[in-house]
Amino acid sequence: MSRYPGITRRRLLRHTAIGGLALGLPLPLFAQGKTSVVETSAGKLRGADVQGIKSFKGIRYGEPPTGAGRFKAARPAAGWSGVREALDYGHCSPQGRSMEPERPRSTGFSLQGENATFSEDCLYLNVWTPGLDSGKRPVMVWLHGGGFSTGSGGSILYEGSNLARTQDVVVVTLNHRLNAFGFLDLSEIAGEEYADSSTAGMTDIVLALQWVQKNIERFGGDPGRVTIFGESGGGRKVSVLMAMPAAQGLFHRAIVQSGSQLRTDSQAVGTHRAKLFMEALGLKPNEADKLKDIPPGKLLGAMNRASAVMDQFRPTAGAPSLPRHPFDPGAPAISAGVPMMIGSNLTETSFFMSRDPRVLTLDAAGVVERVKNMVPAGKAGEVFAAYQRFYPGMEPSDILFRIATDRGYFLDSTIQGARKAEQKGAPAFVYSFEWEQPLTENRTHVPHGSEIAFAFYNLDLARGDNPEPLAAVMSEAWAEFARSGNPSTEALGAWTPYNPDNRPTMVFSEKSGMVNDPRGEQRKLMLSFGSQQEREPELKPLN
């Protein structure tokens, strides 16, 4: 009997014999030490060929947005002569303490990637493909997590070889401007020249998608079947792209993983954060012309101070490139024809909260105090009591993870799915990822980001007991959605599109399948308070 119930022999071969690297099989001799050359619209690139997958890393898609180009839309990359090496990831956008001389170095696993380097010269992308023929393969463009502030497309989390190999797709990841470099709203204080400064990081992604349209066929991809997908901040960027006029036609399907962005910043919030940023630099609001000459490390320092008061820099709704909120009050009409997959994980917030060991020992009173920050303070006790009824005998801290996740990630994913469905255009397919993995010796959880390894079929990063069957099922569903716009597969069965009446949802776990309105009572309770994204943040002074 197969170790992979429901997987045909042909598909099993695709996941094992062809996907030998993922399962620890010997590396074929024909694939060792090879390189490949492809000619793009700008020039020739030399990439690596490992086990039949050709990878091209650090492909420049835009000119460095520096000097007078800071906070403005980037220009496409200039052409070159000869053959450029495309064997290493490009620079990441400056972030955190990355420009400090004594900054902590990224080694091993990180959101930035092993031995990452940082520079404003960060407009690079990476391609993994099974072949350079005219295969017309579906193209899956991944947008990295880290909110709008951190991360890169070079993290080992997003290594695209296994997904490309097992599913015969072309995988693309990319870097773009982040935090203040990509989302500083200077429109009100610096005038028309910076009208789109709050979306510079998003217009970088549009530029990368334009590169894909122009070049991906040379990598065996189909420019008419481009899927954008991302987790956390990447899902938020996918949501925003759905509402950007300049992005329409550059992608044809969209997957939002744990990042349903219904609303983004108002112009009032974006302008206030920009004023705090200028104040942290010792500049007056009308001195934006001086920003082009300030070292990037100093800009990061000001960004960190402003973010500590007003949270991370984000796109501003009402900018020329983003004329409205992504999914508020409804799904954007301009992308009505784009099918979506939308989902979240069962205990997203355990990823963040469990870093503090004190959280795991909270009693009921301690949980209620924390819940006061999530719902109207007078309702916190009622919410906790309701969740005790939903989950009798559950540890208070585990209830906290459920409440915090349902309040944000889960509720917002169901709102986004319903608004897409109510549009009556292309369908939305909603999922809940519930594969449990160890939290402590006797406790399990389903943390933020844990589904990524399954979607990418990167088994070395998938935690829990025997993840291979679920990774095979999920990665095929993701690829089938990219291929056809419908994630139903032979192994998974029919995936019913979402609707606001019975809310059919695919639950991924040891026994995956469709469930109508999972956690419906929890959803209704949280919906009674509205989405947290509806709250306009207080305009606070710089500390």
Find the mean pLDDT for residues 404-412.
Answer: 98
- Phi and psi angles of residue 148, each rounded to the nearest 5 degrees, phi first: -100, 15
| Residues 314, 267: Cα–Cα separation, whole Å | 11
Q: What per-residue confidence (pLDDT) applies to 105?
A: 54
110-141 CB burial, b ≥16 within 10 A, e <16: bbbbeebbbbbbbbbbbbbbbbbeebebbbbb
Find the mean pLDDT for residues 338-343.
Answer: 98
Res. 103 pLDDT band, cuts 50 70 90: low
- Among 401, 413, 397, CA closest to 498: 413
Catalytic site includes residue 468: no
Omega before residue 329 within 30° of 0, cis: yes
| Residues 512, 343: Cα–Cα separation, whole Å | 14
Find the mean pLDDT for residues 525-543.
Answer: 95
| Residues 14, 55: Cα–Cα separation, whole Å | 19
Between 20-24, 175-179, 483-487, the lowest mean confidence (pLDDT) is in 20-24
On the question of pLDDT at 27 being above 50, the answer is no
Res. 367 pLDDT band, cuts 50 70 90: very high
Res. 102 pLDDT band, cuts 50 70 90: low
Kindly name the residue from 155, 198, 232, 344 that is annotated as catalytic. Answer: 232
419-433 pLDDT, tens digit per residue, is 999 999 999 999 999
CB 244 within 8 A of CB 327: no
Catalytic site includes residue 176: no
Find the mean pLDDT for residues 357-370.
Answer: 96
Q: What per-residue confidence (pLDDT) applies to 34?
A: 85
185-199 pLDDT, tens digit per residue, is 999 999 899 999 999
On the question of pLDDT at 354 being above 50, the answer is yes
Tokens 């009446």 -> residue: 501
Tokens 């042909």 -> residue: 10
Find the mean pLDDT for residues 450-456.
Answer: 98
316-336 pLDDT, tens digit per residue, is 999 999 999 999 999 999 999
| Residues 377, 538: Cα–Cα separation, whole Å | 17
Kindly name the residue from 217, 231, 348, 451 that is annotated as catalytic. Answer: 348
Q: What per-residue confidence (pLDDT) applies to 104?
A: 55
Res. 33 pLDDT band, cuts 50 70 90: low
Q: What kind of fold does domain 339-534 have according to CATH?
A: Rossmann fold (3.40.50)
Q: Distance between terminal CA atoms of the chain?
A: 64
- Phi and psi angles of residue 481, each rounded to the nearest 5 degrees, phi first: -60, -45
Find the mean pLDDT for residues 531-541.
Answer: 95
| Residues 342, 526: Cα–Cα separation, whole Å | 18
- Among 415, 178, 161, 188, CA closest to 314: 178
Token pair of 155 as six digits: 């993290």
Kindly name the residue from 354, 448, 451, 531 that is annotated as catalytic. Answer: 448
Q: What is the pTM of this model?
A: 0.93
- Among 475, 498, 344, CA closest to 426: 498
What are the CA-CA distances from residue 110 to residues 44, 154, 248 (Å)?
31, 9, 32
Token pair of 434 as six digits: 């519930």
Q: What per-residue confidence (pLDDT) applies to 22?
A: 36
Q: What per-residue confidence (pLDDT) applies to 8?
A: 36
- Among 265, 263, 272, 307, CA closest to 188: 272
Find the mean pLDDT for residues 107-134.
Answer: 86
Question: What is the enclosing helix (H) or strand (E) of 200?
Answer: helix 200-215
On the question of pLDDT at 66 being above 80, the answer is yes
Catalytic site includes residue 441: no
238-260 pLDDT, tens digit per residue, is 999 999 999 999 999 999 999 99
On the question of pLDDT at 442 being above 80, the answer is yes
Q: Treating both helix axes as pointing N-terminal to C-terminal, what angle do 380-390 and 396-405 enclose, rounded to 10 degrees? A: 110
264-307 pLDDT, tens digit per residue, is 999 999 999 999 999 999 999 999 999 999 999 999 999 999 99
On the question of pLDDT at 227 being above 90, the answer is yes
Q: Where in the chain is the domain with CATH 3.40.50.1820?
A: 339-534
Residue 242 backbone class (left: φ over 0; alpha: ψ -120 to 50; beta: rest)? alpha
468-477 pLDDT, tens digit per residue, is 999 999 999 9
CB 267 within 8 A of CB 242: no
Neighbours of 357 (CB within 10 A): 8
- Among 42, 68, 70, CA closest to 56: 42
| Residues 172, 151: Cα–Cα separation, whole Å | 16
CB 345 within 8 A of CB 433: yes
| Bridge partners, 143 (sequence order) | 230
User: Residues in the chain, how many?
Assistant: 543
**Percent of the chain predicted with pLDDT > 90:** 89
